[in-house]
């Protein structure tokens, strides 16, 4: 794997899990800036996904604390505290609960700066996991990334690896704007290389994981690992794919995608959320507007079916995208 943007060769790497990488980012930023604090449901013990586990031991209950189950007020608290110069990092335990605090995220956090003519800023990061967890059914398995791309004033990050999770979260915490930081449940316990040294990853810079000339696969969140597996399967058949992860959806590294499509002339977009009105729809439209002439075949979107997530494992697997569906889409393109 190569990276077009980060010089990682001279860093000392070790393998840690995605959840540990996030925890390191939180701890480092809390050490660096005492205005940073984390709170939410089950945060003191680090449930449900262990990210905040142990932070209370180092930072104490003033900076790591539980709230009642009241998502609207969790985010409202972050908005008010951010206005006062604090740097809140609330956790919403499942991204399916973001609709509970939609007003505070979309109407307040994202708009109060603009509506005030820039009198105040809102340095806050809302962490929340999306995607499949495995038979958690329709209210605990959703991928809602695309919803939040239509909220000017809000940044959206979707890290796919431990390395990106840590570097992007540190950047998010230092950003003076509201950031929705959407993690992935199935990635939390997946290890990956992360430098021992401190590093930051800028928003709006895609990461190119593989460079191939036949097709560009844009993959978001957990779909990156599926796309990389698809890459291996395709390679066996002599198809060389570029696998690109935008890493942040707002801002979106549109140039990286455009440049890649201009080289490969084919595009597949993979996301875990429903196809209609999804991230892939936006990226497809950008390519249609700005690089249509470069395409040798139609764009393909590999996404979830437009259905609530079913409980039954067989049904759930059926509606969600995976490596085989990506391979199928790519081969379909190559034959046109």
Partner 1 sequence: MIKKEKMTKQRFIHFYRKLSMVRQFEEKVDELFRQGKIAGTVHTSVGQEAVAVGAGEALEEKDLVVATHRGHGHCLMRGAGLKPMMAELLGKGTGLCKGKGGSMHIVDVRRGMLGAMGIVGAGLPISVGVGWAIKRQKTGQVCACFFGDNASNGGPFHEALNVSALWKLPIVFICENNLYGLSVSVNKTSAVQDIAVRATGYGIPGVIADGMDVFAVHDVVKKAVDRARGGAGPSLVECKTYRFLGHSRGDPSYGPYRTKEEWESWKKRDPLILLRKRGNLTPEEVGKIEQEVSAELSEAVLFAEQSPNPEIGDVLDDIFA
Which residues of the shown chain bind partner 1 in the complex (CB under 8 A)?
A: 37, 62, 67-68, 70, 72-73, 75-86, 88, 103-104, 107-108, 112-123, 152-153, 155, 176-177
CA distance 151 to 169: 20
The answer to whether the CB of 89 falls within 8 A of the CB of 38 is yes
CA distance 316 to 116: 45
Q: Which is nearer to partner 1, 118 or 238 (CB)?
A: 118
The angle that helices 254-264 and 279-290 make with each other, rounded to 10 degrees, is 60
Return all residues near 229 (Cβ < 8 A) that are at least 6 apart. Answer: 323
CB of 84 to partner 1, least distance (A): 3
CB of 157 to partner 1, least distance (A): 14
Asked if 318 is an active-site residue, the reply is no
Active-site pick, 140, 183, 271, 316: 140
Q: What is the token pair recorded at 216?
A: 């560009």
Q: What is the token pair recorded at 115?
A: 């509506």
CB of 92 to partner 1, least distance (A): 14
Q: Which residue has the tokens 């199935």?
A: 186
Active-site pick, 6, 20, 29, 71: 71
Q: Which is nearer to partner 1, 153 or 274 (CB)?
A: 153
Peptide bond into 251 cis (omega under 30): yes
Q: What is the DSSP string of 307-329?
A: SPPPSSHHHHHHHS--HHHHHHH
CB of 98 to partner 1, least distance (A): 15
CA distance 245 to 262: 17
Q: Which is nearer to partner 1, 120 or 315 (CB)?
A: 120
Q: Which is nearer to partner 1, 95 or 105 (CB)?
A: 105
Asked if 5 is an active-site residue, the reply is no
Distance from the Cα of residue 75 to its chain's centroid? 19
CB of 72 to partner 1, least distance (A): 5
- Starting at the earlier edge strand, list the strands of the sheet with 267-274: 207-210, 241-245, 215-219, 267-274, 300-304
Q: Which is nearer to partner 1, 100 or 291 (CB)?
A: 100
List active site positions.
71, 140
């Amino acid at each position: 794997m190569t990276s077009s943007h980060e010089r990682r060769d001279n860093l000392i790497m070790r393998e840690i899990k995605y959840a540990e990488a996030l925890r390191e980012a939180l701890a480092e930023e809390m050490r660096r800036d005492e205005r940073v604090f984390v709170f939410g449901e089950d945060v003191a013990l680090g449930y449900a996904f262990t990210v905040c586990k142990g932070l209370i031991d180092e930072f104490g209950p003033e900076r790591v604390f539980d709230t009642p189950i009241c998502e609207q007020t969790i985010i409202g608290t972050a908005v008010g505290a951010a206005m006062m110069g604090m740097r809140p990092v609330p956790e919403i335990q499942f991204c399916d609960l973001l609709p509970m605090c939609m007003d505070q995220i979309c109407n307040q956090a994202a708009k109060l700066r603009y509506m005030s003519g820039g009198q105040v800023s809102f340095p806050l990061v809302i962490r929340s996991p999306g995607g499949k967890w495995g038979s958690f059914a329709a209210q605990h398995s959703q991928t809602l990334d695309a919803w939040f791309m239509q909220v000017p004033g809000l940044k959206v990050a979707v890290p796919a690896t431990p390395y990106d999770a840590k570097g992007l979260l540190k950047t998010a915490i230092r950003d003076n704007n509201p950031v929705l930081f959407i993690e992935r449940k199935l990635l939390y316990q997946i290890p990956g290389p992360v430098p021992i040294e401190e590093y930051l990853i800028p928003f709006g810079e895609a990461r190119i994981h593989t460079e191939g000339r036949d097709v560009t696969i844009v993959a978001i969140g957990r779909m990156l690992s599926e796309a990389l597996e698809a890459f291996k399967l395709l390679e066996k058949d002599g198809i060389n794919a570029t696998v690109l992860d935008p890493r942040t959806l707002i801002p979106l590294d549109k140039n990286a995608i455009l440049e890649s499509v201009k080289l490969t002339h084919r595009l597949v977009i993979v996301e875990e959320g429903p196809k209609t009105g999804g991230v892939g729809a936006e990226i497809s439209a950008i390519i249609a507007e700005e690089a249509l002439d470069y395409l040798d075949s139609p764009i393909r979107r590999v996404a979830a079916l437009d259905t609530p997530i079913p409980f039954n494992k067989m049904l759930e697997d059926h509606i969600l995208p995976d490596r085989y569906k990506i391979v199928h889409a790519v081969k379909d393109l190559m034959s046109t």
